[in-house]
């Protein structure tokens, strides 16, 4: 994956705000990253994007 270039803008911004999620995303293998990116591209709201990133960071959603 090309660093940052392949990230949807909202996803990249949300990752920037959540260090643990960014570290977890970086540690994923290519296939897992692509799966997350597909999910991020389908997100249609800021709140849903933040929930996705919290999940990647291992945080409870709520």
Q: Model confidence over 32-45: pLDDT tens digits? A: 999 999 999 999 99
Per the domain annotation, does 22 fall within a domain? yes
What is the average per-residue pLDDT within 44-55?
97
Per-residue pLDDT at 13 exceeds 80? yes
Per the domain annotation, does 1 fall within a domain? no
Work out how many domains the chain is built from and give that number.
1
pLDDT score, position 44 = 96
Do 18 and 24 form a contact (C-beta atoms < 8 A)? no
Question: Cα dihedral angle (13, 16, 20, 24), rounded to 10 degrees?
Answer: 70
Per the domain annotation, does 4 fall within a domain? no
């Amino acid at each position: 994956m090309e660093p940052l270039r392949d990230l949807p803008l909202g996803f990249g911004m949300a990752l920037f705000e959540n260090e643990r999620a960014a570290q977890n995303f970086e540690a994923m293998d290519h296939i897992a990253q692509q799966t997350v990116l597909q999910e991020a591209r389908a997100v249609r709201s800021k709140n849903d994007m933040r929930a996705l990133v919290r999940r990647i960071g291992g945080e409870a959603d709520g």
